Structure 1
Amino acid sequence: MAGLQKDPAFERWAHLRENTHLYFRWNKRTVNKTLFWGIVIPVGLTILSYKTDRKWDFTGAQTKKELNMEK
């Protein structure tokens, strides 16, 4: 029974993935992704949570009353 042949492309990808810290460089693409995922998304979710804070009354769901939206 013959063994599986290793694909050089997969081997190279695995090597780069295991050693990311050696090959990482800051460039325009990585800076943009870092700013987006590290600043824009958390700030956007924070703004969204503050805008919707105490806006909905879900106590009616427990008592089978209508759900009321406060202004």
Structure 2
Amino acid sequence: MAGHHNNSLAMDPALVKYANMYVNRYKFFRWTPRTAWINFAYVVAIPSVVGYLAYTTDGKWDFRGKRRGDIIAEF
């Protein structure tokens, strides 16, 4: 009959290994030059570049209330 059978789904060993690695990643993490540079890029460099671009172009364009033929540059 349609009872609940244990282990009725065959698990892919590669997916099980990946799931275990994902859960236990913090236990095996080490700071290396590569991980330090990646961390620096995502924590400092990219937000700094985005912030600089946002600051330098603040108020430069106004897309609201424009009509055909109007320019979008405010200065």
Query: Whose radius of gyration is greater, 1 or 2?
Result: 2
TM band (smaller chain)? 0.7 to 0.9
Higher helix share: 1
The reply on whether 1:49 has 2:60 as its aligned counterpart is no
Report how far residue 59 of structure 1 moved.
Answer: 4.0
Q: TM-score, normalised by structure 1?
A: 0.76
Instruction: Classify 1:57/1:7 alpha carbon distance in 2 versus 1 (closer, same or farther; 3 Å).
Output: closer
Instruction: Classify 1:52/1:5 alpha carbon distance in 2 versus 1 (closer, same or farther; 3 Å).
Output: same
Query: Structure 2: any 5+ residue segments left out of the alignment?
Result: 1-7
Report how far residue 24 of structure 1 moved.
Answer: 1.1
Query: Structure 1: any 5+ residue segments left out of the alignment?
Result: none
After superposition, residues 1-71 of structure 1 pair within 5 angstroms as: 3-61=8-66, 64=67, 66-71=70-75
What CA RMSD, in Å, does the superposition of the two structures yield over aligned residues?
A: 2.2
Q: TM-score, normalised by structure 2?
A: 0.73
What percent identity do the matched residue pairs reach? Answer: 34
Higher strand share: 1
Instruction: Classify 1:55/1:8 alpha carbon distance in 2 versus 1 (closer, same or farther; 3 Å).
Output: same
